[in-house]
Amino acid sequence: MTDQKIRDRIRRLMEMTAARGCTEAEALSAAAKAAELMRQHGLSEQDLVIDVQASRAKVGARSERSRLWPTIALCTNTDHVVIRRWGGGIDVEFVGCAPGPEIAVYLRTVCERAIDREIATFKAGKFYRRRRSLATKRAAVSDFTIAMTLRLQLRLVELFRDTIDPMVGLEARQALAARHPSMETISRPDRDERFWEAGLAGSRAGNNVPLAHGVGGGGGDRLMIGGRS
């Protein structure tokens, strides 16, 4: 049985209470079994509220769009780590109280798909096609992507302002550190903007991306990211 299945089983046992229709004997038996499983697998109640969700990334941790990842973590009260997988490829893993990690993966998917679409549109435009060298074309795309990413960051912080919880975020950082004790901080070199026109186009593109609070499209319980009932 995987760690996630064990956690799910313990959660189901802990939900078997008299308030939910169980008899007192059933509730006591379920609580005892849950406690036994927690002891066997070295789990605490804190471990049960922490969720882990990951998705594959097409770009590296020093790419322009990777600037989004810590902002998404902030907005969903999670923390994140970039994991290089054996055989190639990297995953972006979000850790925190549910449903934060699930929403973080959703937001990263939405934002990065939008970036891909808008870059393709930008490359089809006159400004990009007028660049004569590969170096200037790459610089234009980089300026476009940085500006679009920055605009998405600002919009995400504004959208999630009311549900950002520093204490829940701290729990996520602690959980991530316990899960990956040997992780290292990756620095990203700064670069000067070369084409302000590309940056302006990127900012406009970032302003037009539809954003919502969660996988359900916003509203309702999904607003309580990392919250406790």
CB 72, CB 107: distance < 8 Å: yes
| Among candidate residues 70, 61, 164, 65, the one with its CA nearest the CA of residue 110 | 65
The pTM of the full predicted model, rounded to 2 decimals, is 0.77
User: Residue 50 burial (CB < 10 Å; 0-12/13-18/19+)?
Assistant: buried
Tokens matching residue 158:
């504004």
Tens place of pLDDT for every residue, the chain, 229 residues? 556 678 778 778 877 887 788 887 888 888 888 778 878 887 766 666 778 889 999 888 888 999 999 999 999 999 999 988 877 788 999 999 888 998 999 999 999 999 999 999 999 999 999 999 999 999 999 999 999 999 999 999 999 999 999 999 998 999 899 888 888 887 777 778 889 999 999 999 999 998 876 555 444 333 334 433 3
